[in-house]
A = this chain, B = another copy of it.
Amino acid sequence: MRLRFLWPGPTKNADVRGLQDQYLRKIGRLATWELVETKGARGLSESSAAKILDIEAQGLEKHLANDYIICLFDKGKEMNSEELAVFLDTVTGESARPIAFVVGGFLGLADRLLRKAQTRLSLSRMTLSHELCRVVLLEQVYRSLSIMKGRRYAK
């Protein structure tokens, strides 16, 4: 399974980055992964929301080609961890395409990216901080891989 994780701008919070690295290492034992931290939209105030989303979408789109795209979206499809494992297993079984998880910046993702996604996945009905969202995603992907491999994974 080839997994790709894409988001605009590097993770700034040192502790979040620490957790991100820990989960990526664990994922690396079970699958091939690539992290693409694209250029974030800088120097624009939140009043330029549409522009920020457009710039970030352009940066992300450059790195999306033949992937099965999963955009994170709080109003997307909710799954429990077992359902996510089955879902990822099914996607992998149907195609050799890499699976690309796309996480938005602090304003989320542009509509056109959400429309482009094969799946819009919600980690929680709650709005998570965009950096924390990265870690929760990685933890869930690791959990899913562990479930798939039938490994025991500490809760």
Query: Which residues of A line the B interface, CB within 8 A?
Result: 13-16, 18-19, 22, 74, 78-81, 84, 106-108, 123-130, 132, 135-136, 139-140, 143, 154-155
Contact = CB atoms under 8 A, between A and B. Distances in A.
Copy number in the complex reads 2
A128 to B, nearest CB: 7
Nearest to A84: B126
A126 B136 CA distance: 10
Contacts of A143: 126-127, 129
B136 A128 contact: yes
Given A16-B15, A19-B15, A81 B127 contact: yes
A106 to B, nearest CB: 4
